[in-house]
Structure 1
Amino acid sequence: MPPAYIYVRAEKDSPLDVTPDQRNTIIVACVYAVAIMILWVVPYLNMVLYPFKLLTVGFHEFSHALAGVLTCAKIESIELDPDEGGATRMRGGISLLTLPAGYLGSSLIGAILIACGFDERASKVASIVVGVFFVMMLWWARRNLLTWVLIICMAGLFVLFWFVADSVALRYFVLFIGVMNCLYSVWDIFDDLVLRKVNESDASAFARVVGCCPAQVWGFIWLLISIAFFVGGILVGIVVFTTPVSEQQASNFLDVPT
C-alpha cells in the first residue's frame, strides 16, 4: 500500500508574504551571491567561476541571436573566447532590439531561472528549456570548439543534478545559474559602461543608432533594468511558487498537486 502524504499549506495573508521554504530559498540565493562576489576577487579561487562566466557570456550572445531571429535576421555565427568575450554575427534584424538584447536578455534569463529555483517542477521545465537553448547555441556556434565544450559540460551537470537527491540538487543548481547570470550581467554593464567607459560596446553602437544620449546613459538605463529583473525574479518566485518543498518532492514531474 503506497504511503499517504498529508500536506499542510502555509497560509499567506499577502502574496508577498514569505513561507519558511521560500525563506530558505532566498537565504541560499543570498549565500550564492556572497560566495560569487568573494570568489570573483580572490586569485586562483576565481577560476571556479570561470565556466559559469562563460555560460553567462553564452546567454548574452544567445540573446542577441534570438532577438535577431525574431526580427528576421540571418544568424551567421556565435563565438566565445577564453577571455570571457563573445561575438554574434548576423545580417539584418532591427538594431534597436538586437543591440540591447545581449545585456537585458541574459539578465531576464537569470531572473527567470531565479524564479524557477523556488520550485522543483519549474526547475525541471527550466532545465529542458535551457537544453533547447543549448542546442540552438551549438548550431550557431558549430565552428567554435570552446562553445561546444562549455555547453556539453553544462548540459552534463543539468542531467546529473536532475537525478541527485530527487532533483533537489537541480533546483539549487538552477537557482545558482540564475543568481550568477544576473550578477554577472549587472556587473558587466556597470564595469564596461559606467566605470571603464569602454570605447566600443553594445551601448555605444546603440547610441549611434538612436542618435541621442551617450553610451554611458544607455548603459545606466540597462543597469537599472537588469537590477529590476533580478528583484523581479525573486518576487515572482515568492508570489507564484508557494508549494511546500515536501509536496514538490512527493509529486511526479509536471503533476499538478491536489
Structure 2
Amino acid sequence: MSLLYPYEYDTHTHQLVTRSLDSRLTPTATQRTTLIVAGCYILIIGILWHVPYLNFIIYPFKLLTVGFHEMSHAFMGVLTCAHIHSIELDPDEGGATSMSGGIPWLTLPAGYLGSGLIGAALIACGFDTSASKVASLVLAAFFIFTLWWARRNLLTWVLLLGMSGLIVLFWFLKGGEALRYLVLFIGVMSCMYVLWDVIDDTIARKVNSSDASAFARICGCFPSQVWGVIWLFIAFVFFILGLLVGIVAFKESAAQQKEDAKHFLPAPGTNGTLGIPLLSTSLTLLVSVLSSALLTLL
C-alpha cells in the first residue's frame, strides 16, 4: 500500500525518491473518481434523507449510523467504568443507550464525535479495496458488540444480520471493488448523520433530551446550540481528514488495487491464495457467534 511506501519511482534516475507533499495530496485518476462518487453520495443521501417515502430507501443505513452513534456512547461508557444496560436504535429519534456510572462529560459527546471519527475512518478505507476489506472485518466486530448490548432489540438483529449479508455479498462482487464503494457510502452516511442530527436537535430546534442539552446542563459554559456547533466543527474536521488520509495513503490505480485484492483476503474462487483460510475462518467465526447468541436469546 502507498501508506507503507511513501515513495515513487523516478524513470530518469531509475531510483526510488520521496514523494513531494504536493504529489501526495494530488488525487490520482482513481482517487478523483472516488471523490466524485463521495460527492454524489452526499447529494443522494441529502435528498433521500429528507424526502418523504424516498427516505425508506436508506432506512437500514440510517439505523446503522444510529448504531455507530450509540455504540460510541457505549464504548466510552465502558472506558469510564460505566455499566451498559441496553442499546435501542431508532432512525427518527436517534436511539438510546442506557448506562449507569461513567463520566457524563465524556460519554455524552462520544456519540457525535465517535460517529464522525468512524465515518472518517471508513471514508479513508473507501479509497482502497484491501483497506475496505479490513474495515469490513472491523465492522463485523462492531456488529457483535452492538448485538450483545442490544440483544433484546429484534430490529437491531434484523438490521445487522442483513448488513452482514450485504457486506459478504459485496466482498464477492468484482474482487471486492464493490465492497470499497459500500464502505465509502457507509462512511459518508455516518458523517452526514452527525451534520443533520446536530442541526435538527440543537440548531433548528432545541431538544431537551438531546446529548448537547444534557451536556450543557452538566458542564454549563455554553448553551446546547454552541456545544452542537463545536461538535459539528470537530466532526467536519474528521471528515476532511478522512479524505486527506485516503488521498495520501492509497495511491494505487484501480488495476493495482484489483491485483492486490487477489492476494489480500481474496474471495474464494479467485486466483489468490493468501488469506483464504483467514477469510473463511473469520466468516465462519462471525456466523457461529451470531448463531450462538441468537440461540441463547431464544
Q: Scaled by the length of structure 1, what TM-score is found?
A: 0.91
Name which of 111, 135, 141 aligns with 1:132.
141
Q: Deviations over 1:183-210 (max 9, x none)?
A: 1111111111111122221111111221
2-structure distance, mates of 1:75, 1:230:
29
Alpha-carbon deviation of 1:139? 0.3
Q: Secondary structure at the match of 2:72?
A: helix
2-structure distance, mates of 1:94, 1:52:
29
Q: Deviations over 1:195-251 (max 9, x none)?
A: 112222111111122122111110110011111111111111011111222111112
Which amino acid in the other structure matches residue 127 of structure 1? S
Counterpart contact for 1:123–1:170, Cα < 8 Å: yes
Q: Which moved more, 1:87-96 or 1:139-148?
A: 87-96
Q: Is residue 245 of structure 2 the alignment partner of residue 253 of structure 1?
A: no
Aligned residues with identical type, % of pairs = 65
2-structure distance, mates of 1:229, 1:149:
30
Name which of 210, 215, 226 aligns with 1:217.
226
Query: C-alpha root-mean-square deviation of aligned residues, in Å?
Result: 1.8
Match for residue 233 of structure 1?
Answer: 242
Name which of 94, 107, 116 aligns with 1:85.
94
Counterpart contact for 1:81–1:146, Cα < 8 Å: no
Select the structure of larger CA radius of gyration: 2
Alpha-carbon deviation of 1:83? 3.6
Alpha-carbon deviation of 1:64? 0.2
Alpha-carbon deviation of 1:92? 1.2
Q: Secondary structure at the match of 2:127?
A: coil
What does 1:92-241 align with in structure 2 at a 5 Å threshold? 92-241=101-250
Q: Secondary structure at the match of 1:163?
A: helix
1-structure distance, mates of 2:71, 2:171:
24
Alpha-carbon deviation of 1:72? 1.3
Which amino acid in the other structure matches residue 253 of structure 1? F
Q: Gapped runs of 5+ residues in structure 1?
A: 1-7
Q: Which has the higher contact order (CA 8 A, sep 6+)?
A: 1
Q: Secondary structure at the match of 2:97?
A: strand
Q: Deviations over 1:37-92 (max 9, x none)?
A: 12223332221011111111111000000111111111111111364531111111
2-structure distance, mates of 1:163, 1:97:
40
Q: Is residue 47 of structure 2 the alignment partner of residue 28 of structure 1?
A: no
Q: Secondary structure at the match of 1:103?
A: helix
1-structure distance, mates of 2:58, 2:142:
21
1-structure distance, mates of 2:9, 2:196:
38
Q: How many residues get paired?
A: 248
- CA gap 1:82/1:20 in 2 versus in 1, 3 angstroms: closer
1-structure distance, mates of 2:130, 2:90:
34
Counterpart contact for 1:57–1:84, Cα < 8 Å: no
Q: Gapped runs of 5+ residues in structure 2?
A: 1-7, 11-18, 266-273, 275-298
Counterpart contact for 1:54–1:84, Cα < 8 Å: no
Alpha-carbon deviation of 1:116? 0.3
Which amino acid in the other structure matches residue 246 of structure 1? A
2-structure distance, mates of 1:89, 1:198:
18
Which amino acid in the other structure matches residue 90 of structure 2? D
